Amino acid sequence: MRNMEPDQNGAEVPVIELRHVEKHYGDLHVLKDINLRVGKGEVVVIIGPSGSGKSTLCRTINRMETIDAGEILIEGVPLPVEGRELAQLRAQVGMVFQSFNLFSHRTILDNVTLGPTDVLHVPKKEAREEAMRLLARVGVESQAHKVPAQLSGGQQQRVAIARSLAMHPKAILFDEPTSALDPEMIGEVLSVMTELAGEGMTMLVVTHEMNFARRVADRVIFMDAGSIVEENTPDAFFSHPKSQRAKDFLDSIQNH
């Protein structure tokens, strides 16, 4: 964890900024006037009951979901809506999915090299060397020549993190990265994420792992029914939630 919070020293442009973002699914108002800033090196954790819109919010940032109104800025530049510009922007913002989404027809190594070779035109040999370094970093280098189906869920998710790191992203979005994992595999993924946070990666994490939020987050955002209800440091949020909805939510999960 870092002490510095770059968005407080004014001059610095946030890596991710959402201004008055609105989204509807038909009659359902899933994002209501969302305002959010994630500074460089900051780890922001979004929590909230299911259906609160936290996953949707995460997915709007690289336009996996479109928005109806408002603005999304990456390093101060508005998110392009289509074409080459959008692809270039996505290349700079990593994403780790709940269901891993490793390319099932490719080896683990190819999963990590595909982005750099196809998008950044990194020479194959170089991409392979870097991929092996990243796989070693997340502890799955011995699996490099297997296909995803041969790996455990925890291993697959660590590969997914390596795949996203291979693009040298400015920030990584984690969309419930441990929700599809068996309990004993959650720890290995969270420890990779904790290391990343320690190295200064800018991260936006949607999760149900309260201990991770408590230990690693610089800021916790609590969402309910499409709105950001509360935003605070983890200590303040978990010990003194201000809103009744946050209190109810924390009660409901702590009673288990």
Partner 1 sequence: MSDARTNVRDALYEPPGPRTRRITAAATGISLAGIGVLAALVVRRFAVAGQLDAKYWALFTKGTTWLYLGKGLVGTLRAAAMAGVITFAMGFLMMILRISRLRAARAVGTALVEFTRGVPTLLFIYFFFLVVPQLGVAMPAFWKITLPVAISASGIVAEVLRSGVNAVPKGQREAALSLGMRESSVFLKVVFPQAIRFCIPALISELVIVLKDTTFAYVVTFPDLMQNAKVLISNYDSLLAVYLVVAVIYIFINYLLNRLSDFAAKRRDRGLVVKTG
**Applying CB under 8 A, which residues contact partner 1?**
62, 64, 84, 87-95, 97, 99, 101-105, 114-115, 118-119, 147, 149, 151-153, 160, 163-164, 167, 180, 182
Judged by beta carbon, residue 150 or residue 252, the one nearer partner 1 is 150
Chain centre distance of CA 256? 26
CB of 27 to partner 1, least distance (A): 23
**CB-count burial class (<10 Å; 0-12, 13-18, 19+) for 66:** exposed
Q: How many helices (H) and strands (E) does the chain have?
A: 9, 10
If the CB atoms of residues 88 and 243 are measured against partner 1, the closer one turns out to be 88
Shortest CB 15 distance to partner 1, Å: 16
DSSP state of 79: P
Shortest Å, Cβ 105 to partner 1:
5
The distance of closest approach from Cβ of residue 131 to partner 1 in the complex, given in angstroms and rounded to an integer, is 13
Q: Which is nearer to partner 1, 23 or 90 (CB)?
A: 90
Question: Which residues have a Cβ under 8 Å from the Cβ of 217 and sit 6 or more positions away?
Answer: 43, 44, 45, 205, 234
C-alpha–C-alpha distance, residues 73 and 191, integer Å: 29
Of residues 49 and 187, the one with the C-beta less far from partner 1: 187
Burial class (CB within 10 angstroms; exposed 0-12, middle 13-18, buried 19+) of 179: middle
Smallest separation, CB 52 to partner 1 (Å): 21
43 versus 167: smaller Cβ distance to partner 1: 167
**Distance in angstroms (rounded) separating the CA atoms of residues 238 and 152:** 32
